Chains A and B, each alone.
Chain A
């Protein structure tokens, strides 16, 4: 039972001052085992804050990040699942599911986590699942209107993943749950 937090596109301090307080009160250290961040934090202070929530942090480079040494894409294996991370501004057209599917096949992962569109999406296609956690601060985006702050928490348990989507709508935290299973087990590979 591994809890993985996926979030991104915070754009602190340029477009948002901080995470919404209701989100901050929920993100208590000690519960989460891994954090996956799609990028655009943008400053080091946010990086440090995320490290206090969980020491195992994976970030990819967003176009506004002030730290330039994050990788463009990253893959990791958690339990039976292979996860891939990419900010998404590199994939054109932005947010296009077919192009993202190409990226997913290229990275050869079961779950691809991308961002940039600031809109939550969870989509399944034959190569796997694409999850976009949206923007954790609800920062302004040129391609999406009415952005609600959102992030994603995945509970990986064997061949099953339960995805909990946390959204802040009208000042209230709404939680949705998505379930999916993988059919075949991943062969053990060098991590």
Chain B
């Protein structure tokens, strides 16, 4: 059933020459690990098909029908160093034209008073254009209105431009206020408290010499106070979390100057992200901060602060905070340990993923679940809770998130489909490996063509078995 679906897309075929070339140059260590048993067999295959002339390859590919499915997975192994600019691989005239059309479509939509959310999501599902701030605006609209949609439980809400602009401004002022309340250091806090005191009575010792005046604060706050209500105590409780956040921020996307260089701009970005994460931790004492939240925040913040519109870029911090909160509100139940086994917890989501896999490819499901006993907890937990940010590079993540946000039924539903598609795309490798191989493969997911992955995801049929359970 899947053979027909997993045909190599046009772009990938033409790209093959480069990828094979890198094979001859030398295998990646990772490839050897992953191939395992099939090592000898595959070596022979590749060397035979390598030809200096690109055209020969197309014919060769047709001969290797058996290899069809396998090569899908191979694609990723071929060129691990190659940047994942799949969209830009073969820029034909039609592609450029389509991209322009998309851009002008979006711009038109945003200029309207009533934004057609459905249309926006449809455009998003085929990928939003980079640059120009269109992606940022699109994401903001989708995230803020999808949240409203869930909240009001109506059919879909037509997004009125005035409404969402107003909401953005409201968010920004709310955020500024929250920062002031929660992120102040205790010294600054006490300084603020002392201001009225100072103006009222003249401090006896402030200018004249002599004994300095003392003020009893035994019942008030002081740095060594151990009371729960103490500002100082709360401050110290969060220093550990802060340290963790700082460490994680330094590790976010180390290959990107935007996040990890020592320039003042990059420091400013890290500071902004730190504020957002700390604020989130303070507002959610149940889940606080979990390692990986920085990865979920990174694409949001990146998109919003690289917005071409200066004003929007300046408000990136506040907007990212709002969108981050909303995005995580969907999956917040996954982080709470007590809810693990409940119907909204992570285990239930994982079993939904398996149900989806079973409905679409029983053979693979049986192999993973029964033969190898590869528990979805081992690989899919990170996929789902962190919205796939740890599995791909930033550019691919942006594309995948376009697709996730485009689903009118919500991010989680699309996320499960993409996860299932990820499993299907490496099916042959999974089937030919044992427990260790499978786990290694799934925990270090290989690079594949994102467009292809998303296409598979779109084509996945929903799991109808669970529908029978609900009345």
User: A residues bordering B, Cβ < 8 Å?
Assistant: 1, 3, 25-28, 30-31, 121-126, 129, 153, 155, 157, 160, 162-166, 172-181
Contact = CB atoms under 8 A, between A and B. Distances in A.
Contact of B216 (A1, A30, A174): A174
**Chain B: interface secondary structure?**
loop
B347 interface: no
B206 A162 contact: no
Given A153-B224, A155-B187, A175 B217 contact: yes
B191 interface: yes
Interface of B: 185-188, 190-191, 194, 203, 205-206, 209-218, 220, 222-224, 226, 236, 239
Nearest to B236: A31
A179 B187 CA distance: 12
Given A1-B187, A124-B205, A125-B209, 11 more contacts: A1-B185, A1-B188, A153-B222, A157-B188, A165-B214, A174-B216, A174-B218, A175-B217, A176-B216, A179-B215, A180-B206
A153 B212 contact: no
Contacts of B205: 124, 178, 180
A164 B217 contact: yes
Contact of A178 (B186, B212, B226): B212
Given A1-B186, A157-B188, A178 B224 contact: no
A123 B210 CA distance: 6
Nearest to B216: A176
B191 A123 contact: no
Given A1-B185, A1-B187, A155-B187, A164 B210 contact: no
A155 B185 CA distance: 12
A162 B236 CA distance: 18
Given A30-B239, A174-B218, A179-B194, A126 B223 contact: no
B217 A122 contact: no
Indicate the member of A3, A121, A179 with the most B CB atoms within 10 Å. Answer: A179
A54 B4 CA distance: 67
A155 B212 contact: no
B218 A173 contact: yes
Contacts of B188: 1, 157
B203 A123 contact: no
A173 B218 CA distance: 7
B187 A157 contact: yes
Nearest to A25: B226
A176 B220 CA distance: 10
A115 B98 CA distance: 80
**Top-9 shortest CB links A-B:** A26-B224, A157-B187, A176-B214, A1-B187, A122-B212, A177-B217, A175-B218, A175-B222, A125-B209
16 contacts: A1-B186, A124-B210, A124-B211, A126-B209, A153-B222, A153-B223, A157-B185, A160-B191, A162-B187, A162-B190, A175-B218, A176-B214, A178-B213, A180-B205, A180-B212, A181-B206
